[in-house]
Amino acid sequence: MKVGLFIPCYVDQFYPQVGIATYQLLEKLGVRADFPVKQTCCGQPMANTGCEQDAKPVYRHFVDTFQGYDYVVAPSGSCVYHVRKHYDVVEQTGAVQHVRQATYDLFDFITSVLGVTELPGRFPHQVGLHLSCHGQRGLHQANESEMTPVRDGQLSRLLRSLDGLTLTELSRNDECCGFGGTFCITEEAVSARMGQDRVQDHLQHGTQVLTGGDMSCLMHLQGIVRRRQLPMRVLHAVEIFNVALQPSGTSVSTFVPQSTTAERV
Amino acid sequence: MPSRESILAAVRANRPAATPLPPVADFAGEATVEQFTHWLHFIGGQVIRLAPAQPLDQVVRQLYPDATRIASDLIPATVPVDQQTPTEVLEAVDVAVLRGELGVAENGAVWVPEVNMLHRALPMISQHLALVLDHRSIVATMHQAYAAVQHTGNYGVFIAGPSKTADIEQSLVIGAHGARSLVVLLR
Amino acid sequence: MSHPQRAAAFTSDAERTTWHDETLWFVRQKRDKAVYAIPEFQELRQLASDIKEHTLSRLDEYLEQFEQNARANGVQVHWAADAEEHNRIVLDIMRGVGATSLVKSKSMLTEECHLNPYLIKNGIAVVDTDLGERIVQLREEAPSHLVLPAIHLKKEDVGETFHVHLGTPKGEKDPQNLTEAARRHLREKFLIGQVAITGVNFAIAETGAVVVCTNEGNADLGVNLAQVHIACMGMEKLIPRTADLGVFTRLLARSATGQPVTTYTSHFAKPAEGRQMHIVIVDNGRTRQLGRPDFRNSLKCIRCGACMNTCPVYRRSGGHSYDFTVPGPIGAILSPNIDMRQHSSLPFASTLCGSCTDVCPVKIDIHAQLYKWRQIIAQEGELPVSKKLGMKLLSSVLARPAIYRFGGKIAREGLRFLPHALTHATAFNPWAKARELPEAPKQSFRDWYQQTVK
């Protein structure tokens, strides 16, 4: 199985630890992923701004980069959703069709392709899960509250399988965080307010570690947590799993969640 | 007439490819007095089950002891009402006691066709409304209700509970413009 | 003003924003409870969508069938190509019967056509009789929600308005007492109303009947006491059969407010003896929308307002921030069809979270249409120049790996070494108003990979 790792542009530059954890976790699950260095971006920032036409060269570059892999795996449901849903505007060559089908969100890949629904490991903290809208409503990785009261999904199942981990029960399980790509700049006031409300819900219900499958949402939420100096740590879920799945004997996750202003991961 | 023709022409030019009309929907459901009662209570109405030989006018007098102006074709009325009754007479009616044709278990609605209303405005302008309904005429859902009604006639209304509003801060207030209370008398 | 500016003004009152958000979220929760209780709810949505799809595909035939049946019922049918013609038709009907006063139940179409100011200018006394509509009418405001027109107001605001206009005691803010005052005030209006206007929720082709759904009973009270009933409808309100109402009445109130059905579901087919009934069928841009394949299914909308209640942006920016008759997500896909330039910021007033699409009882792909409108707005040159150029530049960078790597490094190192006061200056970095930027690491993932793995 040839797996290409897609590390979204902002993760590459600002959250390398998320890329590293993705690489290492896949390795622990027996998958040696390859990172084609000519990769750039999926093109979503342009397309969501209305410049889909300008994004086409980026789409072609993405396909060109990843067409030789059986699977393309990314720690970002949003980018994956974009490739699958919106790469319909370029000519549907065999390569384009293949890449659209073969691109997976990391946890979807772990659950659906590798067939892993539980992970051994320990993470004795209260974890609040932020569902990204593109992962949940776009890729149907979790139940939507619009349809059913049952709160379930790929990522929540994986997290619950960790020893010692408590998942926060939120007032609003799947409200959008307000990141929304360029929305977070063009509609700054509403975006910030949405993020503050999400963080508040987690704070009220005891979240120590705020996590999710999409670093873009988390970057936005982390920005608020740090600005307000809240006693909450923000980690991509892959970082949690990678820490929890240490080889036996190693002590795991010794950090105590605290104000994150001075913290570095 | 020109707008009619131009609109229809524009529709013909722009309409999408034909798709089939789905068959009439029907989902099963519980056509029970219990369901009907549950939902009518939920929306602010009341259900009273009449004993077999209980005289209707006696029940109405007990329910509305202060009502002096009662309009009805089911019990002796104190205010005669027909389609010609002037507004100022209608406006003074305390209680209207009318026949409901059909009850809907899933939502507590009762079908009241024009012929049962005496005057079209009576069910809404009366301060209180009582609908007399045969318990055997309760159906499960709106699907069965429309199937039973067949044609909605010149005018007819599904009435589900008393008039209400929540337009001020989402606070539910019973008695907006129509009847302040609704009782279904089941027999 | 654009949506972001109006939204920023709204959110600047943090407490009121909290209240607005929570009040509408409460309605969304009531909706959820009602929806979860119906096992076939998702099937009903599909059916409703399919019925509307079919109706749109033969809309001309159904319109003609409807007209023919309505005429046979003794109803006078009028056709209006646009708002102006609609308003003129209504005025002509009123003048024809010598009427000078009008009671009106809820009709978003007449809001869309700006009927009230037109009639008032022509000497007609217009009274909106839905409580929420009456409140905003007295305040000379537009409704801020399809179903809850006065949801932007608190009871103290309504109390003040009623004190001024209806003479309620100063400081009275109890919703029960305020509603009672409105009931008395509006009863007087109902009793003297010569003409009653209603909107139309559904128009039934096979019978020529129109169906109006209210909770207050104001539509029935108005129509049944007036000499003349004028029902104003957008042409997309048609459905083929009476039996189809089973599907739509099960969806409408549950989606809108979580009620199992509206209090009054009223079927008007034939005027009472000696009275008149008119139906005005209005296009006003609808045939144009029908001709846009990507957007035509917005015409399936049954105006339940569920997309507003669920929209995290609407809840925190208020209906007036959209500055369009229909606010919220559905308004953001209807408005560019009317005037793309004026409403160009609305399709961007969304995170594309998709919740609107998930609650829509007729399965309109609202968030997908928002995305598509963005593309058209950009192509038509309605994006701000800075945004447009920025995206072109970004694209040329992202298609060139070497420049991309260089740019990323510049951004990261800039963030590392420039002073916080500069990187977080809100004048040119709106992000930093409420948020910290990420802390820039020493090396990128790419650097780590090339050093460690390869």
Which segments of chain B have a pLDDT < 50?
Answer: none
pLDDT, residue A257, reads: 41
* Contact partners, residue B103, CB within 8 Å, separation at least 6: B36, B109, B110, B111, B133, B137, B138, B139, B184
- Contact of chains B and C by CB distance (3 or more pairs under 8 angstroms): yes
CATH 1.10.1060 boundaries in chain C: 1-37+294-383
Q: Say if the Cβ atoms of A17 and C441 lie within 8 Å.
A: yes
pLDDT, residue C399, reads: 76
pLDDT at A253 over 70: no
Q: Say if the Cβ atoms of C434 and A144 lie within 8 Å.
A: no
10 Å CB burial of residue C122 (0-12, 13-18, 19+) is middle
CB B82, CB B121: distance < 8 Å: no
B169 located within any domain: yes
DSSP-derived letter for residue C90 is H
Q: What angle do CA C433, C328, C299 make, to 5 degrees?
A: 150
pLDDT, residue A97, reads: 98
Query: CB-side exposure of B65: number of CA atoms within 13 Å?
Result: 1
Partner-chain residue, chosen from C54, C223, C287, that has the shortest CB–CB distance to B21:
C54
Helix (H, G, I), strand (E, B) or coil at C192: helix
B114 located within any domain: yes
Q: Which CATH architecture has domain A126-244?
A: 3-Layer(aba) Sandwich (3.40)
Partner-chain residue, chosen from C383, C431, C444, that has the shortest CB–CB distance to A16:
C444
Among C79, C144, C85, C149, which residue's Cα sits nearest to residue C115?
C85
CB B125, CB B8: distance < 8 Å: no
10 Å CB burial of residue C161 (0-12, 13-18, 19+) is buried
Partner-chain residue, chosen from C73, C175, C287, that has the shortest CB–CB distance to B10:
C287
Q: Which residues of C touch A187 (CB under 8 A)?
A: 3-4, 7, 313, 348-349
Q: Which residues of C touch B120 (CB under 8 A)?
A: 220, 223-224, 272
pLDDT at A249 over 60: no
CATH 3.40.50.10420 boundaries in chain C: 39-284
Q: Which residues of A touch C387 (CB under 8 A)?
A: 49, 182, 186
No. of helices (H) and no. of strands (E), chain C: 22, 10
CB C4, CB C346: distance < 8 Å: no
The answer as to CATH 3.90.660 being correct for domain C1-37+294-383 is: no
B13 located within any domain: no
Q: Say if the Cβ atoms of C310 and A9 lie within 8 Å.
A: no
Q: Which residues of C touch A47 (CB under 8 A)?
A: 371, 375
pLDDT, residue A265, reads: 31
Q: What is the DSSP string of C97-110?
A: TT--EEEE---HHH
- Write out chain B in H/E/C secondary structure: CHHHHHHHHHHHHHCCCCCCCCCCCCCCCCCCHHHHHHHHHHCCCEEEECCCCCCHHHHHHHHCCCCCCEEECCCCCCCCCCCCCCHHHHCCCCEEEEECCEEECCCCCEEEEHHHCCCCCHHHHCCEEEEEECHHHEECCHHHHHHHHCCCCCEEEEECCCCEECCCCCCCEECCCCCCEEEEEEC
Query: Which of B37, B81, B93, B124 is the mutation pick for testing C, counting most C CBs within 10 A?
Result: B124
Helix (H, G, I), strand (E, B) or coil at C125: strand
- In which order are the strands placed within the sheet that holds B181-186? B46-49, B181-186, B128-133, B95-99, B70-72
B10 located within any domain: no
Distance, CA of C190 to chain centre:
27
Instruction: With residue C336 as reference, give the H or E element that holds it.
Output: helix C328-338
pLDDT, residue A259, reads: 39
- Write out A160-213 in H/E/C secondary structure: HCCECCEECCCCCCCCCCCCCCCHHHHCHHHHHHHHHHHHHHHHHCCCCEEEEC
Dihedral of CA atoms C174, C177, C178, C180 in degrees, nearest 10, equals: 160
End-to-end CA distance of chain B: 53
B170 located within any domain: yes
Q: List per-block mean pLDDT (blocks of 10 residues) for chain C, which spans 454 residues.
A: 94 97 97 97 98 98 98 98 98 96 96 96 96 96 95 96 96 95 93 94 98 97 97 98 98 97 98 96 97 97 98 98 96 95 95 98 98 94 72 73 80 82 84 90 93 87
Q: At C320, give phi and psi (nearest 5°).
A: -70, -20
Q: How far apart are CA C405 and CA A226, in angstroms?
A: 28
Q: What ipTM does this complex have?
A: 0.98
DSSP-derived letter for residue A262 is T
Distance, CA of C373 to chain centre:
17
pLDDT, residue C366, reads: 98
pLDDT, residue C422, reads: 83
Beta bridge partners of residue C63, listed in sequence order: none
- Per CATH, the number for C39-284 is 3.40.50.10420
Put simply, whether C261 touches B (Cβ < 8 Å) is yes
pLDDT digits (tens, 9 = 90+) for A166-224: 999 999 999 999 999 999 999 999 999 999 999 999 999 999 999 999 999 999 999 99
B19 located within any domain: no
Q: Which residues of C touch A180 (CB under 8 A)?
A: 350-353
Residue B175: which domain range? Answer: 25-186
Average pLDDT over all residues of chain A: 92
Partner-chain residue, chosen from B160, B163, B169, that has the shortest CB–CB distance to C23:
B169
Number of domains observed in the structure of chain B? 1
Residue of A nearest to C452 (CA): A20
Helix axes C366-379, C328-338, angle to 10 degrees: 30
Helix axes C175-192, C155-166, angle to 10 degrees: 40
CATH 3.40.50 boundaries in chain A: 126-244
CATH code of B158's domain: 3.40.50.10420
B173 located within any domain: yes
Q: How far apart are CA C229 and CA A252, in angstroms?
A: 75
Q: Which residues of C touch B14 (CB under 8 A)?
A: 287-288, 290-291, 296
DSSP-derived letter for residue C266 is E
B176 located within any domain: yes
Partner-chain residue, chosen from A17, A53, A176, that has the shortest CB–CB distance to C379:
A53
Tokens of B3: 């707008």
pLDDT, residue C385, reads: 66
